[in-house]
Amino acid sequence: MRSIFSIDGPLYKFFGTFANLVILNLVAILCCLPLITAGTSITALHYVTLKMVRNEDDHIVRQFFKAFKDNIKQGILLWIPLLLLIIALGFDAWLLRYAPDTVPKVFQFVFFAGLFVILLVAVWVFPLLMHFAYPRTTDYIRNGFLLSLSHLPRTLLMAAITFLPLFFAYVEPLRSAVWLLAIGLSLPVWLKTWLYNSVFKKLEPQDDEEEIEEAAPLLQETDPEGTAPETQE
């Protein structure tokens, strides 16, 4: 019984993790308020949650802002096109709900197909950004698409974790407000990190002290010299 309440016990670790997620959630929300930096904020959140999952977290707020600063340019470049697509798809969704007769069936199919593809790619893009360094921004989108196909069941689960809370917030905005402010961003990201952590480990070099010479075939093509993408520390 004493081990349960000890510093190394599961109860202490649970409340410690929960407190860290609450802190991270508040910081991430603040950094999302300038909408243009929302992608960078999510990237930094992935950076810290991966550290947490691997028991490498230390000074989580400091780690968050380090990752935020390091990825701000790429994060904005990836986020702006995604944001524009979300706005366009949101307008299409509004038409389908309130004026369905004005949207031809073929466009409805294109809408749902596009939404599905964007959803699958989006769950991988920002985790890739925070952990791997590619020479081109489009490499993150390309590899996100390839990873979504090669790990489809995992991708679908990650997508569900991402968008079910958002759907609940849309249906019950008042009831979900407290949840979203407390852990609405950080908890889904933390859960997804457990899913993609093993995938990333297979793509990383086996020995961090050796020069990176090869990568998994899936990502190898992105570097024109045929070397592995560097991992970001």
- Alpha-carbon separation of residue 102 from 76, 88, 95 (angstroms): 34, 16, 7
DSSP state of 104: -
φ, ψ of residue 133 to 5 degrees: the values are -110, 110
CA dist 19 and 50 (Å) reads: 16
Q: Give pLDDT, residue 173.
A: 80
What is the C-alpha radius of gyration for the chain, rounded to an integer number of angstroms? 19
Q: Give pLDDT, residue 187.
A: 95
Residue 214 has pLDDT above 50, yes or no: no
More reliable by pLDDT, 228 or 205: 205
Mean pLDDT for 58-82 is 93
Question: What pLDDT, in 10s, does the model give residues 17-38?
Answer: 999 999 999 999 999 998 999 9
Q: Give pLDDT, residue 70.
A: 94
More reliable by pLDDT, 166 or 223: 166
Question: What pLDDT, in 10s, does the model give residues 122-168?
Answer: 999 999 999 998 888 899 999 999 999 999 999 999 999 988 887 78
182: which 2 tokens?
């407390």
DSSP state of 133: E
Lowest mean pLDDT among 76-90, 91-105, 189-203: 91-105
Quote the longest CA-to-CA distance of the chain. 66
CA 47 from chain centre, in angstroms, equals 9
CA 233 from chain centre, in angstroms, equals 17
- Of 180, 182, 159, the closest CA to residue 170 belongs to 180
Question: What pLDDT, in 10s, does the model give residues 166-182?
Answer: 778 777 888 788 888 89
CA angle, 230 as apex, 71 and 162 as ends, to 5°?
Answer: 50
Q: Give pLDDT, residue 207.
A: 55
Q: Give pLDDT, residue 230.
A: 61
- Alpha-carbon separation of residue 34 from 31, 85, 112, 166 (angstroms): 7, 18, 29, 19
* pLDDT-based confidence at residue 190 (cuts at 50, 70, 90): very high
Q: Give pLDDT, residue 99.
A: 74
The residues facing 231 across adjacent strands are 132
Structure-token match 């925070």, residue found: 130
